[in-house]
A and B are shown apart, each in its own frame.
Chain A
């Protein structure tokens, strides 16, 4: 079955430290891949997307993600965490490239001062 796996439901980093949020998908055919951020009681904001162009994708707020076909991964990184990055992050996959998104379980990012 098509699924999305986010390793770690909670990740805690210190301010200024590297952020690494993991996402793996389950398909031999590269799908469309997305990362969304959700602040408490708010909607989902698109951070970045991969749609079969460059494998290293840059998004908003200093985030980037690298598509690795061999690892079926699309991990999200940010070189230096900021307090305002504390939120829930969702990886989402469009397996059929037709719009229906399947979301991972989400990773809650905490940033310590």
Chain B
């Protein structure tokens, strides 16, 4: 079965640079979520989109923005990167009508140097 695809899998950036993470949900899933998992920590909810509209927002820094496109893929844009942004970024997708059962991608490991 098709899973959530994230690209790139690994990304190395320097401080103050920008990064764009991409997420391709499971076909027919209408909702996308972004989570950030720091080293040794639990995932923290950043933002979600339903039918291309932002549906909920968590502890996402103002330096970050995201959107969901017409083909339902989503991009997380991160600017003015800081060392503390180094983390594993997960995208998950779900079908809103199925109790929001979320399926996670493999994650993008971002390292800021």
Contact = CB atoms under 8 A, between A and B. Distances in A.
A45 B35 CA distance: 14
A14 interface: no
B104 A49 contact: no
A43 B105 contact: yes
A51 B42 contact: no
Contact of B90 (A44, A46, A100): A44
Interface string A38-71: 0000111110010100000000000000000000
Please classify how large the interface on chain A is, using the bins under 10, 10 to 19, 20 to 34, 35 or more: 20 to 34
B53 to A, nearest CB: 13
Contacts of A36: 104
A35 B106 CA distance: 17
A103 B101 CA distance: 14
Chain B contact-residue range equals 20 to 34
Contact of B33 (A45, A99, A102): A99
Interface in B60-113: 90, 92, 94, 96, 99-107
Interface in A86-107: 90, 94, 97-106
Contacts of B103: 46
Contact of B102 (A97, A101, A102): A101
Contact of A105 (B42, B58, B92, B96): B42
13 contacts: A32-B100, A43-B107, A44-B43, A44-B90, A45-B104, A46-B104, A97-B100, A99-B48, A99-B50, A100-B56, A100-B58, A101-B102, A102-B45
Interface of B: 4, 31, 33, 35, 41-45, 48, 50, 55-56, 58, 90, 92, 94, 96, 99-107
